Amino acid sequence: MQEKANSTILEVVQLTKVFCDFWRRPKVRAVDGLNLSVRRGEIFGLLGPNGSGKSTTIKLLLGLLHPTEGSIRLMEGRPGDVAVHRRIGYLPEVSHLYRYLTPRETLLFYGRLFDLSARERRARTDQLLEMTGLTAAADRAVGEFSKGMARRLGLAQALLNAPELLILDEPTSGLDPMGCRQVKEMLRALADQGTTILLTSHLLADVEHICDRVVIMYNGKPRAAGNLRDLLATPDRMTLDLPVLDAATTRRLLQTIRETCDCEAELSRPSMNLEEFFVRVVREATNGASAAPEAATPRMAAFLEK
Amino acid sequence: MYNRIFGIAGLMFRQAVRSRFVVSLFCLLLTVLVGFTLTIQGDGTASGRLQVLLSYAMGAVGSVLGMATLWLACGSLATEIESRRIHLVVVKPVRVIELWLGKWMGILAVVLLQLVAAGLFMWAAARIGEHRTVAGTPDGIAVREEVLVAREWVEGRRLGPPGDRPVRWSLSCPELPEGATGMATLSYRFLSAWRDQPPVIGHWMLRGEDGRIWFESDCTANQDGVNRLKIPLAQLRGGEPVELLFEERPNAAGQVTGATFHPEREVELLVPTGGFGANLMRALLLLFCHVALLAALGVTAGTLFTFPVAVFASLALVVATLLAQFFVFSTAPERVAHEHHHGGEEGPSWIERVGAHASETVRMAMAPTLRYRVGLRLAEGRRIPWREVQAAAAVLILGYGGVLCLAGCLVLRRREWALPV
Amino acid sequence: MFRLRQAVALAGLTALEALRQPVCLLLILVSSTLTALLPFLILHRFGEDGKLVRDSAFALHAVFGVFVAGYAATTALSRELESGTALVVLSKPVSRDCFFLSKFVGVVGVVGVFSLCAGLTTLLAERVAERFVNRDGVAGFVTDGQTGALLIAVMVAACVVGAVVNYKRQRPFGSVTTTALLGGLLLCVVLASCFDRTGQWAPFATRLDWRLVPVSVLITLGLVVMSSLAMTLSTVVGMVPTLASCSAVFALGMMSDYLFGLHATESLWAGLLYSAVPNWQHFWVCDQLNAGGSITGGYMGLAALYALVYASALLCLGTVLFRQKDV
């Protein structure tokens, strides 16, 4: 069991994708010699600025593009295998949904593609609609949805098969801070239950909160990779976390530190980041009522709980 | 597998309904059919009007539905690839054949719905036409016995040398339904270059292999147009070979016209074996097979090209198939070579040679697709047999449709879905 | 003035965008190539070759034109509405009326380019068609092979120019090839005027049949009406229903005289439909050229007025619908 937990779910070796023009001349080298391996149960971040090759890498992993060079091993199979697709969930950068369908019909349709029984389809659809806060809009056409709502529905369809590997391309793009927070909490909860998550983002705060390991790409090449804590650690500095002290005590404490350690020490009052503040304000405004789905902490769908 | 195919088909159908495609097409068909019903006059008789109405309506329904289906089919995959909605489908455990079949079956559901509506309209129009005539009057009889009926027919095979008198044919009487009553029709035509020729007076005789006479009658027939002789079904024996004889007799002036029979369809025996409703259904099923093939062509074209290019390519293939018959006539390789040889000039140009061979190849390859056409049979009250419907389904849907499905799946398997379109 | 500049910019962009689409080039190129090949496919018709060639060429002009007009109109409006491009433009100080009408002008521009290519090819193909010649020791039916070869060479050359420019400079193949084709056809007209039917140097001895020009213009007017219909439909429905409806209206309009015209006086419905469905027969006058006939200026004026009234009515309807459209 432990062995399975530490096993590699995705292995990419020297992955290269070159886009050519009509005359087959190389136009863009979108991914260039990428190596990465993702372990079961971790949240792996693929970071980089726009045009760095993150989305192309994802599409290569899903078999939506064919690699020019290199190999991909995905859950003991290859990208594009039907058996592999049965075990993965995918949320694209833009939720390409059928605009004439309602969210309920959308989820029921994708449920059929996973060959779920009618009863199972309906149950999972209801749970996911509730989890993503779309129950009230379940019978409205998707074409009328805001970007954030479409994103929530996109996430719901990615979770429909309770995937072992969840591939998310910019999962928080288009979501409001509440939505971002909910998605991050949900991803963390999924990872805690053993789901492997591979996500791309250029919103570093999102990644910092939830990712275990990351690779940073630029111009198609990996520039840095590793455990997020190790990468972000500053080995020559320390932080002392204290309750608020009066001014005299503070001065004495600083004096003691300077004399004892013979180094410069500074004291500052930590501040909340804007996201935390926003979430607090909205939660207070709704009095923490669970009836307001936009503000509530998402309740995990029952079928996703392992 | 079926769950996925029907899921995709259901989605296709739902999209066609909600994008107002179905209702637009329905209105269009209704306009055309109502337009025909209100405007067609025919030759002034109720049977003539009904015949023209049925043949025009079948043609119009076929053309409008065929065209619209081609548009819909070309867009079914091409627009999804272009809008990238397909990404969310192909990353699910869906095989390419399931994707292709799902799209195709969704389109067929739309076609079937429209065909049922058009069929009901045509059936109602025919029945209203029937009720407007008085049974027993010549027009009423013609409507009931020659239009709104399904008749088996056999052509006579000429016996004896040309000029032999009496003129003899052999034919095999079609199988008769149990306890059949009513009248069979003997249809015959003379070859006439001029109008207003004197009528031909003659005697018809129908006799069995044993020499026993089944039926005989005198007749006065026109030299131009189709002549019909009614024979009671009770006097025929279904499935047995029969000899048909015609002898011209002198008219009141003691003259014999010496009229000769038309070389095409000299004589035909038409025997009623079924009703109009079932025949209409079989005609619509034949049409359905053709439209299903067009849908297959459109879906496969959509896997290869963007939507407008797919429409253009499919239409070009359809037009080339239809025109190939015409071009083969004017540019057949042997004819081109023969004409130039006998003309004593230089040989045929390369364009003529290429055109001749290309059109012959297209004609050969596509000829089976044109074999199962309804034509004028429904309007003329001729039976469209079930075996023809089965053959059409086998050739058009399983044969050609299968090849197109295979080609589409091959393209889809090799396709890079996320390449910029 | 500002409005006018806006409209010109929008119309130009619409035309350029459509001309860069592969299908637009495909339609222009296939229609021109088929027209150029007609004189070689329709041979030995005892002096009727010219008539058959021009009739077939005009038919190609009309049928392909319907697709060009329908496609350009839907890409200009339906697609932009779906993709959100229209929203971006309308968020600028551009009125909806100006946007809609400019798009229409752009579509008319595309139809114009197509018609120019089709018209010039028809003019040249008619000249290539077999005709009886009896002079300078030549007696018999002669096909103007030299002009024919030149015409086909222009098609090939246009594609080569487009490909080379695309390879070297990465310019769009569609618009470059269309421009090269148009230039090549104009050059071909000039060169053809310098030679007689047997290929001898004889400047302006063999004239082109300029009577074909008004017929071509009338077909273009019909296509403009079709464009206005497609634009108006695009405000309500998507691409597929628009194109399907345009094909149907084209078919109905061609049969309008027979279907509705015959009964227009007796039946109110037939009369209404006869007035409502655009009658393409007014723009299809190639039979008038038989036996040396020509199209009179008066008829041209009346047909232009018919097209103007029809297109204006459809555009008014389209403008009203577009004003109410949720972009």
Of the given ranges (B306-315, C40-49, C243-252), which has the lowest mean pLDDT?
Answer: C40-49
Whether A5 shows a pLDDT value over 60: the answer reads no
Residue A166 falls within a domain, yes or no? yes
**A21 vs C199: which has the higher pLDDT:** A21
By C-alpha distance, the chain C residue nearest A24 is C167
Whether B16 shows a pLDDT value over 50: the answer reads yes
Q: What is the mean pLDDT of residues A230-241?
A: 76
Q: What is the mean pLDDT of residues B27-35?
A: 86
Tell me, what's the pLDDT at C14?
92
Q: Are B415 and B303 in contact (CB under 8 A)?
A: yes
By C-alpha distance, the chain A residue nearest B91 is A85
Whether B231 shows a pLDDT value over 60: the answer reads yes
How far apart are alpha carbons B276 and B11 in whole angstroms? 35
Q: Does the beta-carbon distance from B6 to A100 stay under 8 Å?
A: no
Whether C291 shows a pLDDT value over 80: the answer reads no
Q: Given pLDDT bands bounded at 50, 70 and 90, which one contains residue C301?
A: very high
Measure CB to CB from residue B11 to each of A109, A115, A157 and give the nearest one. A109
Rounded to 10 degrees, what is the CA torsion of A126, A129, A133, A135? -60
CB atoms inside a 10 Å sphere around CB B182 = 14
Maximum separation of any 2 CA atoms in chain B, in Å: 88
Q: Does the beta-carbon distance from B28 to C245 stay under 8 Å?
A: yes
User: Which two three-digit tokens encode residue B16?
Assistant: 């066609």
The three-class DSSP label of residue C247 is helix
Tell me, what's the pLDDT at B344?
46
Q: Are C198 and C46 in contact (CB under 8 A)?
A: no
Residue span of the structural domain in which A115 resides: 2-234
pLDDT in tens, A54-104: 999 999 999 999 999 999 999 889 998 899 999 999 999 888 899 889 999
**B1 vs C18: which has the higher pLDDT:** C18
For C158, residues 6+ apart whose C-beta sits below 8 A from its C-beta are C29, C177, C178, C180, C181, C184
Residue A11 falls within a domain, yes or no? yes
Whether A187 shows a pLDDT value over 50: the answer reads yes
Which ipTM score applies to this complex? Answer: 0.84
pLDDT in tens, A141-186: 998 888 889 999 999 999 999 999 999 998 888 888 888 888 888 8
Tell me, what's the pLDDT at B127?
93
User: Which two three-digit tokens encode residue B401?
Assistant: 């449709």
Cβ contacts of A141 on chain C, cutoff 8 Å: none
Q: What is the mean pLDDT of residues A2-10?
A: 70
Tell me, what's the pLDDT at A287?
60
How many domains is chain C built from?
1
Whether C103 shows a pLDDT value over 90: the answer reads yes
Helices B307-331 and C22-41 pack at an angle, to 10 degrees, of 10
HSE, CB side, 13 Å, CA atoms: give it for residue B32: 27
Q: What is the mean pLDDT of residues C124-148?
A: 77
Residue span of the structural domain in which C274 resides: 2-323
Whether C204 shows a pLDDT value over 80: the answer reads no
> Mean pLDDT over all residues of chain B?
86
How far apart are alpha carbons B314 and B67 in whole angstroms? 10
CB atoms inside a 10 Å sphere around CB C78 = 24
Nearest to B105 by CA among B403, B405, B407, B387: B405
Q: What are phi and psi of B302, to 5 degrees?
A: -65, -20
Of the given ranges (A277-291, B201-215, C103-117), which has the lowest mean pLDDT?
Answer: A277-291
Which strands sit side by side in the sheet containing A221-227, from one edge to the other? Answer: A88-91, A165-169, A196-201, A43-47, A213-218, A221-227
How far apart are alpha carbons B205 and B213 in whole angstroms? 7
- Chain B residues near any Cβ of chain A (below 8 Å): 3-4, 6-8, 10-11, 14-15, 18-19, 83-95, 416-419
Q: Are B267 and B185 in contact (CB under 8 A)?
A: no
How far apart are alpha carbons C282 and B323 in whole angstroms? 27
Q: Are B401 and B292 in contact (CB under 8 A)?
A: yes
E strands in chain A = 8-20, 26-39, 43-47, 69-74, 88-91, 165-169, 196-201, 213-218, 221-227
How far apart are alpha carbons A103 and A125 in whole angstroms? 9
How many domains is chain A built from?
1
Maximum separation of any 2 CA atoms in chain A, in Å: 76
Tell me, what's the pLDDT at C221?
95
Measure CB to CB from residue A66 to each of B3, B86, B416 and give the nearest one. B416
CA distance A161 to chain B (A): 9
Cβ contacts of B35 on chain C, cutoff 8 Å: 259-260, 273
Residue A102 falls within a domain, yes or no? yes
Residue A76 falls within a domain, yes or no? yes
Of the given ranges (A195-209, B298-312, B381-395), which has the lowest mean pLDDT?
Answer: A195-209
Residue A294 falls within a domain, yes or no? no
Q: What CATH code is carried by the domain that includes residue A219?
A: 3.40.50.300
Inform me whether the C-beta atom of residue A96 falls under 8 Å from chain B C-beta atoms. yes
**C190 vs C290: which has the higher pLDDT:** C190
Residue A299 falls within a domain, yes or no? no
Buried b vs exposed e over A196-228: b needs ≥16 C-beta within 10 Å?
bbbbbbeeeebbebbbbbbbbbeebbbeebeeb
How far apart are alpha carbons A235 and A220 in whole angstroms? 30
Whether B185 shows a pLDDT value over 60: the answer reads yes
How far apart are alpha carbons C43 and C53 in whole angstroms? 10
Q: Does the beta-carbon distance from B88 to A83 stay under 8 Å?
A: no
pLDDT in tens, C4-30: 888 899 999 999 989 888 889 999 999
Buried b vs exposed e over C39-61: b needs ≥16 C-beta within 10 Å?
bbbbbeeeeebbbbbbbbbbebb
Q: Does the beta-carbon distance from B308 to C23 stay under 8 Å?
A: yes
* Range with top average pLDDT, A68-77, B336-345, B364-373: A68-77
Tell me, what's the pLDDT at B328?
52
Q: Are B64 and C293 in contact (CB under 8 A)?
A: no
The three-class DSSP label of residue C103 is helix
Tell me, what's the pLDDT at A291?
44
By C-alpha distance, the chain C residue nearest B71 is C240
Tell me, what's the pLDDT at B337?
53
> Mean pLDDT over all residues of chain C?
86
Cβ contacts of B8 on chain A, cutoff 8 Å: 113
Q: Given pLDDT bands bounded at 50, 70 and 90, which one contains residue A290?
A: very low
Q: Given pLDDT bands bounded at 50, 70 and 90, which one contains residue B343?
A: very low
Tell me, what's the pLDDT at B276?
93
For chain B, domains (ranges, CATH) are 2-132+277-317+373-414 (no CATH), 157-265 (2.60.40)
Q: Given pLDDT bands bounded at 50, 70 and 90, which one contains residue A1?
A: very low
* Cα separation values, A8 from A63, A73, A193, A216, Å: 19, 9, 17, 20
Cβ contacts of A19 on chain B, cutoff 8 Å: 419
